[in-house]
């Protein structure tokens, strides 16, 4: 695993736990974690169960005993690491968004396509696809339970930047992060919409806004909980993204991504309305799915809650008894299950790098639309 921190902890949890709850066709060995700082990387290895710590990812990729590379670094390094790993014959799992630019994502998708001819697999870490409730929602849509999809509303709402004196982090630097709310969390809203509906976002019209242009700079080595200094630095990414999308099936979708929605901690919410019914999901109630069946008699209609913890629900049969809830970390175990199974069965896992490239093109189209006062832009 190259990189550590928040996503490193989440991915490590997935690699460690999945083999203990699921009958995997291959047995993952958590061999080495790579980071820039030797001390912090060694600490991460000891904490999360990696056998080794290293500081040179190029050297690790060249090793014969390494079969898969898991990339959890900031976006500005994804392309270089992923392409090198694929060319070295390593399977690759890369966190979202796939890259910082369309050009980088195109190069990564091309490398993945070339590697696939030799049996090398690659996947993007859009983990919310693997929440049992969202996977079940996709199944219901595919079965025609809500009929023709007519309208989608998708939003990812957080408030961790609502304080204008919150410190400047790498996520607020466009050179490192690529974009702000749009790429960090808006990418999830786009991917989840496409995953559940089975359609793509083909055109967009939107606007990006930076609500706080400067923030305090943290001293070197001070974490997010530390005290920032008096110096202030420029925020070079968006704080808020609002856009409309036209889906490939003709439906309209509205999207919002913000880290300024006071009171919302991690609210990835999606509502899909169709000719025969509707579905609604909120990550802050991640074990629930709301379902509306418009074919019932009028006297029986209304949204009803489905508690997605039954053995017949996706992934749920390997965990706890009915009604015992799953949490954020379980999606990373499900990600491991699907990737390892695909590698063993010699099939292409999803979402692919091509899927990640498409999401990158959606993000790019939103940026272009905002620069053009909301003019519609294609995502091709």
**Among all chains, which residue has been given the structure tokens 């900031």?**
74
Eight-state DSSP code of residue 294: T
Half-sphere exposure of 372 toward its Cβ, with a 13 Å CA cutoff?
13
**Among all chains, which residue has been given the structure tokens 């099936």?**
249
Check if the beta carbon of residue 93 is closer than 8 Å to that of residue 126. Answer: no
Q: What are phi and psi of 202, to 5 degrees?
A: -100, -25
Report helix, strand or coil for 35. coil
pLDDT of 310 > 50? The answer is yes
Distance of CA 117 to the CA centre of its chain: 26
- What are the CA-CA distances from residue 131 to residues 24, 245, 322 (Å)? 19, 24, 16
CB burial of residue 265 (10 Å; 0-12, 13-18, 19+): exposed
Check if the beta carbon of residue 339 is closer than 8 Å to that of residue 25. Answer: no
Q: What is the pLDDT of residue 200?
A: 98
pLDDT of 327 > 70? The answer is yes
When pLDDT is averaged across residues 141-152 and rounded to a whole number, the result is 98
Q: What is the pLDDT of residue 370?
A: 98
When pLDDT is averaged across residues 367-377 and rounded to a whole number, the result is 98
Eight-state DSSP code of residue 326: P
- What are the CA-CA distances from residue 282 to residues 4, 100, 135, 229, 244 (Å)? 28, 27, 13, 37, 20
**Among all chains, which residue has been given the structure tokens 């909980």?**
225
Residue 114: beta bridge partners?
A: none
Q: What are phi and psi of 174, to 5 degrees?
A: -60, -35
Q: What is the pLDDT of residue 241?
A: 98
pLDDT of 365 > 70? The answer is yes
- Residues 44-54 have pLDDT tens digits of 999 999 999 99
DSSP per-residue codes, 69-97: EEE-S-GGGHHHHHHHHHHTT-EEEEESS
Q: What Rg do the C-alpha atoms of the chain give, in angstroms?
A: 21
- Residues 85-115 have pLDDT tens digits of 999 999 999 999 999 999 999 999 999 999 9
Q: If pLDDT is split at 50, 70 and 90, which confidence band does 228 have?
A: low
- Residues 4-40 have pLDDT tens digits of 999 999 999 999 999 999 999 999 999 999 999 999 9
Q: If pLDDT is split at 50, 70 and 90, which confidence band does 304 have?
A: very high
Q: Supply the mean pLDDT for the chain.
A: 96
- Identify the structural domains of the chain with CATH numbers, from first to last: 6-128 (3.40.50.720), 129-326+357-371 (3.30.360.10)
Check if the beta carbon of residue 159 is closer than 8 Å to that of residue 266. Answer: no
Q: Dihedral of CA 158/163/169/175: which sign? A: positive
- Residues 191-226 have pLDDT tens digits of 999 999 999 999 999 999 999 999 999 765 444 444
Check if the beta carbon of residue 104 is closer than 8 Å to that of residue 110. Answer: no
Instruction: Please indicate whether residue 208 or residue 227 has the higher confidence score (pLDDT).
Output: 208
Of 156, 7, 27, give the one whose Cα is nearest residue 94. 7
Q: What is the pLDDT of residue 219?
A: 66
Q: What is the pLDDT of residue 171?
A: 94
Length of the chain: 380
């Amino acid at each position: 695993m190259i990189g550590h921190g928040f996503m490193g902890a989440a991915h490590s949890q997935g690699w460690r736990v999945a083999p203990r709850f699921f009958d995997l066709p291959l047995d993952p060995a958590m061999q080495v974690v790579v980071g820039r700082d030797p001390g912090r990387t060694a600490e991460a290895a000891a904490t999360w169960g990696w056998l080794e710590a290293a500081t040179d990812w190029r050297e690790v990729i060249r090793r014969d005993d390494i079969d898969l590379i898991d990339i959890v670094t900031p976006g500005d390094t994804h392309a270089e690491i992923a392409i090198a790993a694929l060319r070295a014959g390593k399977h690759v799992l890369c966190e979202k968004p796939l890259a910082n630019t369309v050009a980088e994502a195109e190069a990564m998708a091309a490398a993945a396509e070339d590697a696939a001819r030799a049996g090398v697999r690659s996947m993007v870490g859009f983990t919310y696809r693997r929440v049992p409730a969202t996977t079940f929602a996709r199944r219901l849509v595919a079965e025609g339970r809500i009929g023709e999809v007519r309208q989608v509303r998708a939003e990812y709402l957080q408030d961790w930047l609502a304080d204008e004196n919150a410190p400047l982090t790498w996520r607020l630097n466009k050179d490192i992060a690529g974009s702000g709310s749009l790429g960090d969390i808006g990418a999830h809203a786009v991917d989840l919409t496409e995953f559940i509906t089975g359609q793509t976002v083909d055109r967009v019209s939107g606007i990006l806004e930076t609500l706080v242009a400067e923030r305090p700079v943290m001293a070197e080595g001070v974490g997010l909980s530390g005290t920032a200094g008096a110096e202030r630095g420029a925020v070079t990414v968006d704080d808020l993204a609002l856009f409309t999308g036209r889906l490939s099936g003709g439906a309209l979708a509205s999207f919002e991504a913000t880290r300024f929605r006071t009171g919302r901690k991690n609210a990835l919410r999606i509502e899909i309305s169709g000719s025969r019914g509707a579905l609604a999901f909120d990550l802050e109630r991640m074990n629930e799915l709301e379902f509306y069946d418009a074919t019932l008699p009028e006297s029986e209609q209304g949204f009803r809650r489905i508690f997605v913890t039954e053995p017949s629900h996706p992934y749920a049969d390997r965990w706890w008894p009915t009604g015992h809830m799953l949490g954020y970390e379980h999606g990373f175990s499900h990600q491991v299950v699907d990737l390892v199974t695909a590698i063993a069965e010699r099939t292409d896992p999803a979402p692919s790098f091509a899927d990640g490239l498409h999401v990158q093109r959606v993000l790019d189209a939103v940026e272009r639309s905002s620069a053009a006062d909301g003019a519609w832009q294609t995502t091709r």
